[in-house]
């Protein structure tokens, strides 16, 4: 006849079984999902661009201006922890509002086909980069920065209509796969043409000076673990009725820029020319 298992031995067996189950459960926990992070130098200062399969976030570090869009709706949420406010808008509306509105590649007519180009491999983690060259055959409608302290080594930037811009070079990579929603957000924020891929650089060719000026460039691309709340706006933000109110002090700056450009509402009438600070705290030249 089989003897009953002594209680101490049974307890030991149970403990070992539970330990084995716990170890197995720990091994079954999936690793953190990886996402892409692009660190970029732009005329507005350093920018982080985060790309996940189901969400995108653009973060302008110095001005604390953020844009998030998530699947499935892909409606953009513009917010700032500094002003404690947020604004909701469609991606189509974002393509005509917000940051980067002073420079819009839709003002250019792209006439050249895509072709391969080489950027320094250390800059872009050896990702393949493609280039589109465009010629400008009409004048831009608005002022843009025509000198850039962070790219050209000068201490000032000047707002002007760049009549001597004769072409642009647009760099992008298709190595990072995007779904239609994330592609639309990135295109809408950067105001770039609707080519497939992630924008990694934008260069102006100036005919009169025979110089090139960088609007933005990508300094680093890396794969990082997905932070838990990266694609969620902070709690307690006030919903406002104007995208520019999210920017706080930058709202006043954009109003001044809008008056210089004669863009009308919500900026106002022409006038009030003068020094315009930007998010990188570089000096700006008088108009």
Domains defined for the chain, CATH in brackets: 34-284 (2.50.20.10)
pLDDT band at 16 (very low <50, low <70, confident <90, very high): very low
- Answer for the pair 36, 51: CB distance below 8 angstroms, yes or no: yes
Please tell me the least confidently modeled range out of 70-74, 156-160, 196-200: 156-160
- Mean pLDDT of all residues in 144-172: 49
pTM of this prediction?
A: 0.66
Q: For residues 276 and 282, what is the distance between their CA atoms, to the nearest angstrom?
A: 9
Two structure tokens written together for 233? 């706006």
- Answer for the pair 69, 91: CB distance below 8 angstroms, yes or no: yes
According to the model, what pLDDT value does residue 98 have?
A: 61
Q: For residues 44 and 284, what is the distance between their CA atoms, to the nearest angstrom?
A: 12
State yes or no: pLDDT of 276 exceeds 90. no
According to the model, what pLDDT value does residue 65 have?
A: 86
- Answer for the pair 134, 170: CB distance below 8 angstroms, yes or no: yes
State yes or no: pLDDT of 174 exceeds 50. yes
- Mean pLDDT of all residues in 43-57: 90
Name the nearest CA neighbour of 124 among 213, 207, 49: 49
Query: Please, which residues have CB within 8 angstroms of residue 29's CB and are 6 or more apart in sequence?
Result: none
- Answer for the pair 252, 245: CB distance below 8 angstroms, yes or no: no
- Mean pLDDT of all residues in 216-229: 90
Q: For residues 158 and 206, what is the distance between their CA atoms, to the nearest angstrom?
A: 14
Two structure tokens written together for 73? 């709706």
Cβ–Cβ contacts within 10 Å for residue 139, how many?
Answer: 10
State yes or no: pLDDT of 107 exceeds 70. no
Q: For residues 193 and 1, what is the distance between their CA atoms, to the nearest angstrom?
A: 84
**Average pLDDT taken over every residue of the chain:** 66
According to the model, what pLDDT value does residue 203 have?
A: 78
Please tell me the least confidently modeled range out of 53-67, 210-224, 273-287: 273-287
- Mean pLDDT of all residues in 18-36: 56
Q: For residues 276 and 260, what is the distance between their CA atoms, to the nearest angstrom?
A: 11
According to the model, what pLDDT value does residue 106 have?
A: 52
pLDDT band at 11 (very low <50, low <70, confident <90, very high): very low
Share of the chain above pLDDT 90, in %: 17
Q: For residues 259 and 245, what is the distance between their CA atoms, to the nearest angstrom?
A: 17
According to the model, what pLDDT value does residue 68 have?
A: 95
């Amino acid at each position: 006849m089989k003897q009953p298992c002594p209680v101490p031995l049974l307890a030991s067996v149970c403990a070992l079984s539970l330990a084995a189950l716990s170890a197995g459960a720990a091994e079954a926990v999936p690793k953190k999902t990886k996402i892409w992070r692009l660190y970029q130098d732009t005329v507005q200062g350093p920018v982080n661009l985060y790309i996940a399969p189901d969400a995108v976030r653009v973060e302008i570090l110095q001005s604390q201006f953020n844009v998030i869009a998530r699947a499935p709706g892909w409606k953009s949420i513009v917010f700032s922890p500094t002003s404690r406010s947020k604004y909701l808008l469609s991606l189509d509306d974002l393509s005509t509002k917000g940051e980067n509105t002073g420079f819009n590649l839709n003002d250019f007519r792209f006439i050249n086909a895509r072709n391969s180009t080489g950027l320094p491999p250390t800059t872009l983690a050896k990702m393949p980069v493609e280039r589109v060259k465009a010629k400008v055959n009409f004048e831009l409608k608005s002022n843009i920065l025509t000198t850039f302290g962070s790219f050209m080594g000068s201490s000032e930037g000047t707002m002007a209509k760049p009549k001597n811009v004769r072409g642009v070079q647009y760099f992008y990579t298709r190595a990072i796969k995007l779904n239609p929603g994330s592609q639309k957000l990135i295109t809408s924020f950067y105001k770039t043409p609707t080519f497939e891929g992630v924008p990694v650089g934008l260069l102006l060719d100036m005919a009169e000076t025979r110089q090139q000026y960088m609007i933005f460039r990508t300094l680093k691309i890396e794969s990082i673990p997905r932070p838990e709340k990266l694609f969620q706006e902070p709690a307690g933000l006030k919903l406002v009725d104007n995208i520019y109110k999210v920017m706080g002090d930058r709202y006043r700056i954009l109003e001044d820029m809008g008056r210089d450009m004669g863009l009308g509402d919500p900026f106002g009438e022409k006038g009030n020319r003068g020094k315009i600070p930007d998010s990188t705290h570089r000096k700006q030249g008088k108009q």
